[in-house]
Structure 1
Amino acid sequence: MSVHKDEKTGKWYYTGKYRDLAGKRHDYKKRGFKTKKEAKAVEDAFLLKIKGGQGRIKMNALIELYHQEMKSAIKYSTLRMYEMIERLHIIPFFGDRYIDTIKTIDITKWNKERALTGNNGGPYSQEYTNNLYLHMSGLLTFAVNHKLLDDNPCKYAKPYKDPNEVKKEENAVENFWEVDEFNKFIATVENIDHKETYDTLFLTGLRIGELCALRWCDLDLEHKKLSVRGSFSTASRKVTSPKTKTSIRTIDLPNRLVEELKQRYERKKKLDGFNDNYYVFGDIAITWPGTFRYRFNNDLKNVNVKRITIHGFRHSHASYLLSNPMISESLVAERLGHSIDMLRSTYAHIYEKRRTALVEYIEKL
């Protein structure tokens, strides 16, 4: 076995021979690698597989193999986000470890350490810590699926949760913007794709998984309608049916958003192979929630507004609608894909304002 460089293309390839279980000789060869290191890692994994599956491979080599196989399956921006997580959080701790030596206790310790001491000496958010854990689990699941590992130790660990941290995505009391705060933020966003994403979230109240799963065939821009039929699950890595019947719904769109989406459609339909099954906020491949969170956090860095999570756009939409006592709560619940009980529970603080406004309205009689 050996790795060589193709002088014509500048790419690397590996080639060699092996014997199968019956003793028959076979040639193997694979081209197209950007680096010698990448070619060697993929060849090592290939040889491990043909020797009966279980073998020893280091985390560095697993990451090379993962990127080689996944680069054509997921968006470039998503791969870049994974590379950042690997470079900053996984390789420094596990890069030289054989993956079969990584145990559940190692995952638990690593995740807690990252959570508490990651962000310039301070703690990372619960959301970010979860993303680190999910990608680590994804790498080891990839190893299991390729028979490079018996079991995924992440299955028996859980992302570290700070007992003193209130879950931001469930804390609708603080995790939302008023209209003027949103306008202040959106005025600073220069990237048109990012702006269209934030406008859609703010003006529809979609969950981030629903936004990821949205296809052009789910939009009827002529009649100003958006149909929610599915949601992307990070855990299963696929679009799934919504958990409740109320989540399957049709949302009426304001004119401003309809015009934005029409312009987006005109741009996107120029892509090679474009059709209405393409994702509205991706292309032929889905864009993962973590990518949107990463973009949002970057766009938010230098803006003097209250910090919210990307789920805060949904809370902002709900809070705006519920602040008007003339709008029926059943219509708001229907638009958000909530039950009325869930709506009242999540937005109890808004209902206090509604009651006050209602009394003020009655006083005018």
Structure 2
Amino acid sequence: MPVYKNDKNGTWYVMVRYKDWRGDRKQKCQRGFATKREAQEWERQFLLQKSADIDMTLESFCELFEKDVRPKLKENTWMTKEHIIRTKILPYLGKKKLSEITARDVIDWQNEMRKLTGINGKPLSPTYLKTIHAQLSSIFNHAVRYYDMNSNPALKAGCMGSEECKEMEFWTKEEYLKFSEAMMDKPLSYYAFELLYWCGIREGELLALTPADFDFKNEMLRINKSYQRLNGKDVITPPKTKQSNRMVKMPKFLCDEMQDCMKMFYDLKDTDRLFPVTKHYLAKEMVRGCKETGVKKIKIHGLRHSHISFLIDRGFTALAIGKRVGHSGEKITYRYAHLFPSKQDEMANKLDMERAEKGEMEDVR
């Protein structure tokens, strides 16, 4: 299909005809190319996309990847992926043909990633390097699974980076109670931190709560959504995982506090956000409380760790805790294994007793 020049402004445009996935004939016009060559290259890549030909560039394939994957993801999840693709993948591999990218190319790309530094001037963390590599590998896996690419060069090249084992931050009950006293001068902040600590819910789950989520008669709290601030807009999404949809039993004192919280509002509707603040606001309040009380500073998510740690210390099982906070029992065991009481001594003593009993029986014979 030829390209055309716009005599009015000297730019080039393309009129391309193609068949969509239904087999219907379509026509698309794309304008604003500075040169004829740019217009022709756009047309070539567009037709390769429509025919799902892996001779298209990685840049063109990523447009298909977005169309295929984005509808399945929460908006904030896609924004994270899109940032990595736009800033860490396409500037280095975007112009290469998908079919011609080799494991050697990926290794060279990995070495370039290791040279990069963050805004703090330090090299990218091993965890972030692993995340970047996983995104590239995910793109190639999509091409293998749905577009007949032979193999995944990122898989052949091997992983980059590693998951860091960061020290888990949490407060003891005594530390939290000291902090919470400093929050009482701002009731909304106080009630927000009460829910975070005594129910172990996530920050986004807290900020999405409405009066309709509270069943005070049965002392239950429904968690079925999450709050995000995206592109300057308040966005309510499904919770993080399927397991995150849950009912949380509240202690009686917390039910009383939440009813007092609702009385602060004038004309509060069932669908109104109970905590119409932002994550930034809560972070500032956390800093304020730590400064006033001298309690060590932790992140907001550390209150969730604190709740789980508190329940472990009180002897509850990983399975029961997992159901309460929206995790699997296996994940609770893995992430908080160092907090569970060790059973090694008990096991060894039991084996000693079993062996001793066997020896006594043999002596009797």
SS of structure 2 residue aligned to 1:251: strand
Report the Cα distance in structure 1 between the residues aligned to 2:297 and 2:32, rounded to whole angstroms: 41
* TM-score, normalisation: structure 1: 0.50
Does structure 2 retain, via aligned residues, the 8 Å contact 1:45–1:57? yes
Identity %: 23
Report the Cα distance in structure 2 between the residues aligned to 1:42 and 1:265, rounded to whole angstroms: 51
Distance 1:340 1:144, change over 3 A: closer
Displacement after TM superposition at 1:335 (Å):
3.3
| Residue among 27, 49, 52 paired with 1:29 | 27
Read off the aligned partner of 2:324 and give its amino acid letter: R
1:280-299 map, 5 Å: none
1:59-70 map, 5 Å: 59-67=58-66
Structure 2 match to 1:179: 176
Report the Cα distance in structure 1 between the residues aligned to 2:28 and 2:209, rounded to whole angstroms: 35
Structure 2 match to 1:101: 100
Does structure 2 retain, via aligned residues, the 8 Å contact 1:107–1:154? yes
Report the Cα distance in structure 2 between the residues aligned to 1:156 and 1:84, rounded to whole angstroms: 24
Per-residue CA deviation, residues 175-220 of structure 1 (Å, 9 max, x unaligned), is: 3355379879x99xxxx9xx98x98765544689x97xx999x966
Per-residue CA deviation, residues 310-361 of structure 1 (Å, 9 max, x unaligned), is: 87454222124445xxx44346566355659965993545759xxxxxxxxx
Does structure 2 retain, via aligned residues, the 8 Å contact 1:41–1:61? no
Structure 1 match to 2:153: 153
SS of structure 2 residue aligned to 1:266: coil
Report the Cα distance in structure 1 between the residues aligned to 2:49 and 2:331, rounded to whole angstroms: 53
Distance 1:155 1:308, change over 3 A: farther
Read off the aligned partner of 1:329 and give its amino acid letter: F
Read off the aligned partner of 1:319 and give its amino acid letter: S
Displacement after TM superposition at 1:29 (Å):
1.8
| Residue among 324, 328, 339 paired with 1:335 | 324
Distance 1:134 1:315, change over 3 A: same
Structure 2 match to 1:131: 131
Distance 1:206 1:264, change over 3 A: farther
Distance 1:349 1:72, change over 3 A: closer
Displacement after TM superposition at 1:34 (Å):
10
Report the Cα distance in structure 1 between the residues aligned to 2:157 and 2:107, rounded to whole angstroms: 6
Distance 1:179 1:107, change over 3 A: farther
Report the Cα distance in structure 2 between the residues aligned to 1:318 and 1:225, rounded to whole angstroms: 18
Does structure 1 retain, via aligned residues, the 8 Å contact 2:196–2:303? yes
Per-residue CA deviation, residues 52-86 of structure 1 (Å, 9 max, x unaligned), is: x4341222223344445666655554444334223
Does structure 1 retain, via aligned residues, the 8 Å contact 2:19–2:26? no
Per-residue CA deviation, residues 83-122 of structure 1 (Å, 9 max, x unaligned), is: 4223321123212222223233443554465357432442
Report the Cα distance in structure 1 between the residues aligned to 2:17 and 2:334, rounded to whole angstroms: 67
Report the Cα distance in structure 2 between the residues aligned to 1:139 and 1:328, rounded to whole angstroms: 44
Structure 2 match to 1:317: 307
Read off the aligned partner of 1:99 and give its amino acid letter: L
Distance 1:123 1:62, change over 3 A: same
Report the Cα distance in structure 1 between the residues aligned to 2:241 and 2:157, rounded to whole angstroms: 24
Read off the aligned partner of 1:54 and give its amino acid letter: D
1:144-293 map, 5 Å: 144=144, 147=147, 149-156=149-156, 159-162=159-162, 166-168=164-166, 171-172=167-168, 175-177=169-171, 179=176, 203-205=198-200, 221=215, 223-225=218-220, 250-253=247-250, 254-255=254-255, 266-267=271-272
Report the Cα distance in structure 2 between the residues aligned to 1:181 and 1:105, rounded to whole angstroms: 56
Does structure 2 retain, via aligned residues, the 8 Å contact 1:117–1:124? yes
* TM-score, normalisation: structure 2: 0.50
Does structure 1 retain, via aligned residues, the 8 Å contact 2:45–2:56? yes
Q: Which has the higher contact order (CA 8 A, sep 6+)?
A: 1
Structure 1 unmatched ranges of 5 or more: 6-11, 230-237, 269-294, 353-365
Read off the aligned partner of 2:306 and give its amino acid letter: S
Displacement after TM superposition at 1:43 (Å):
5.7
Read off the aligned partner of 1:136 and give its amino acid letter: L
Distance 1:328 1:117, change over 3 A: same
Report the Cα distance in structure 2 between the residues aligned to 1:28 and 1:310, rounded to whole angstroms: 51
Distance 1:180 1:103, change over 3 A: farther
Does structure 2 retain, via aligned residues, the 8 Å contact 1:108–1:157? yes
Q: How many residues align?
A: 282
Displacement after TM superposition at 1:252 (Å):
1.4
Which structure would you say has the larger Rg? Answer: 2
SS of structure 2 residue aligned to 1:149: coil
SS of structure 2 residue aligned to 1:329: coil
Report the Cα distance in structure 1 between the residues aligned to 2:178 and 2:13, rounded to whole angstroms: 53
Report the Cα distance in structure 1 between the residues aligned to 2:75 and 2:87, rounded to whole angstroms: 18
Report the Cα distance in structure 1 between the residues aligned to 2:82 and 2:335, rounded to whole angstroms: 39
Report the Cα distance in structure 1 between the residues aligned to 2:339 and 2:240, rounded to whole angstroms: 33
Read off the aligned partner of 1:176 and give its amino acid letter: F
Structure 2 match to 1:90: 89
Structure 2 unmatched ranges of 5 or more: 6-11, 225-238, 274-278, 291-295, 343-365
